[in-house]
């Protein structure tokens, strides 16, 4: 019951990987925001040396080196990469901790995963070794994560029903690639997302403040307000984005304009939670 899911063979068979599109997937997924070195700036953010510290009630996690070298994913196949990204399983057959948001990436399309892998193989190599996670008993028993996945690995999107193409694209961006719920949705005592309170805000893991409710029940912004915020980082009241959301806005601003509009359409379609 707790064994990792078997690895898919011949992932994305027949698809010719497009690293240029993979760059868009990379940006939407915010890979550099977590996996670049903490002090990286400008072009150095594409050197995915890892090292960012993530404090949680279960221990402290450190982002690993995922550059295309021996310390990172240099020896991985596409099958192994896809298994890690969408199922949270390492090439050695161990569960990854869900600080890696594979509970969102499980919804990624096979072609996007393939394109992402192709793009990441073009990035600079980093020799930085990984920092071990600092996690105590019983959370250091990785095999137990098989049960966690049974409870919290979603089989479907949260927003369902008859969506417009724009709303469906926004759902894919928000619920899969950009994994917005990982910060904006409260968690259960076991660390799973509370899907009944989707995007309704959550305590900041740093212990300082609260990550806001972004359902229309609390965020009464127009579509144009949302799109402008995604482009500029400025709210309708001309306040500026701060904290970790600043990196998210940087990523969103680099996406095609239609994707920002799609995210706004999705947020307007999500059920309101006051």
Asked if residue 34 and residue 145 are part of one domain, the reply reads yes
Q: What is the pLDDT of residue 217?
A: 81
Q: What is the pLDDT of residue 113?
A: 98
Q: What is the per-residue burial (b if ≥16 Cβ within 10 Å, else e) of 24-49?
A: bbbbbbbbbbbbbbeebeeeebbbbb
Asked if residue 89 and residue 27 are part of one domain, the reply reads yes
- Reply yes or no on whether the pLDDT at 174 is more than 90: yes
Asked if residue 120 and residue 199 are part of one domain, the reply reads no
Q: What is the pLDDT of residue 219?
A: 85
- Reply yes or no on whether the pLDDT at 145 is more than 90: yes
Asked if residue 105 and residue 34 are part of one domain, the reply reads yes
Tell me if 218 is assigned to some domain.
yes
Q: How far apart are CA 218 and CA 266, in angstroms?
A: 15
Asked if residue 226 and residue 205 are part of one domain, the reply reads yes
pTM higher than 0.85 for the full model? yes
Asked if residue 210 and residue 111 are part of one domain, the reply reads no
Domains held by the chain: number: 2
Asked if residue 186 and residue 112 are part of one domain, the reply reads no
Asked if residue 96 and residue 38 are part of one domain, the reply reads yes
Q: What is the pLDDT of residue 8?
A: 87
pLDDT band at 96 (very low <50, low <70, confident <90, very high): very high
Tell me if 23 is assigned to some domain.
yes
Asked if residue 139 and residue 245 are part of one domain, the reply reads no
Asked if residue 131 and residue 31 are part of one domain, the reply reads yes
Q: What is the pLDDT of residue 274?
A: 87
* Residues of the chain above pLDDT 70, percent: 100
The residue out of 101, 125, 152 marking a domain boundary is 152
| Range of the structural domain that residue 145 is part of | 19-152
Asked if residue 121 and residue 147 are part of one domain, the reply reads yes
pLDDT band at 24 (very low <50, low <70, confident <90, very high): very high
Asked if residue 146 and residue 124 are part of one domain, the reply reads yes
- Reply yes or no on whether the pLDDT at 43 is more than 90: no
69 vs 244: which has the higher pLDDT: 69
Q: Mean pLDDT in the chain?
A: 94
Q: What is the pLDDT of residue 1?
A: 85
Q: What is the 3-state secondary structure (H, E, C) of the chain?
A: CCCCCCCCCCCCCCCCCCHHHHHHHHHHHCHHHHHCCCCCCHHHHHCCCCCCEEEECCEEEECCCCCCCCCCCCCCCHHHHHHHHHHCECCCCCECCCCCCHHHHCCCCHHHHHHHHHHHCCCCCCCCCCCCCECCCCCCCHHHHHHHHHHHCCCCCCCCCCCCHHHHHHHHHHHHHCCCHHHHCCECCCCCECHHHCCCCEECCCCCCEECCCCCCCCCCCHHHHHHHHHHCECCCCCECCCCHHHHHHHHHCCCHHHHHHHHHHHHHCCCCC
Average pLDDT for 249-266? 96
Q: What is the pLDDT of residue 62?
A: 95
Dihedral sign for Cα 191, 192, 195, 198, please.
positive
């Amino acid at each position: 019951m707790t064994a990792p899911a078997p690895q898919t063979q011949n992932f994305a068979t027949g698809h010719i990987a497009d690293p240029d599109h993979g760059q868009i997937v990379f940006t939407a997924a915010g890979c550099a925001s977590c996996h670049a070195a903490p002090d990286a700036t400008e072009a150095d953010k594409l050197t995915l040396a890892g090292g960012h510290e993530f404090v949680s009630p279960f221990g402290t996690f450190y982002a690993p080196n995922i550059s295309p070298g021996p310390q990172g994913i240099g020896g991985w196949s596409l099958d192994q990469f896809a298994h890690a990204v969408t199922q949270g399983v390492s090439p050695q057959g161990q569960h990854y901790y869900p600080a890696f948001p594979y509970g969102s990436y499980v919804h990624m399309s096979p072609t996007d995963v393939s394109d992402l892998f192709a793009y990441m193989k073009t990035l600079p190599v980093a020799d930085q070794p990984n920092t071990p996670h600092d996690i105590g008993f019983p959370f250091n028993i990785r095999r137990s994560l098989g049960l966690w996945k049974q409870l919290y690995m979603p089989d479907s999107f949260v927003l369902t029903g008859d969506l417009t193409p724009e709303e469906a694209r926004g759902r894919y961006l928000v619920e899969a690639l950009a994994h917005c719920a990982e910060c904006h949705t409260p968690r259960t005592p076991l660390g799973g997302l509370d899907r009944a309170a989707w995007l309704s805000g959550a305590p900041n893991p740093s212990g300082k403040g609260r990550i806001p409710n972004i359902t229309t029940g609390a965020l009464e912004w127009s579509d144009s307000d949302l799109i402008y915020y995604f482009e500029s980082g400025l709210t309708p009241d001309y306040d500026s984005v701060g904290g970790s959301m600043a990196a998210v806005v940087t990523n969103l601003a680099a996406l095609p304009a239609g994707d920002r509009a799609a995210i706004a359409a999705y947020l307007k379609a999500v059920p309101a939670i006051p």
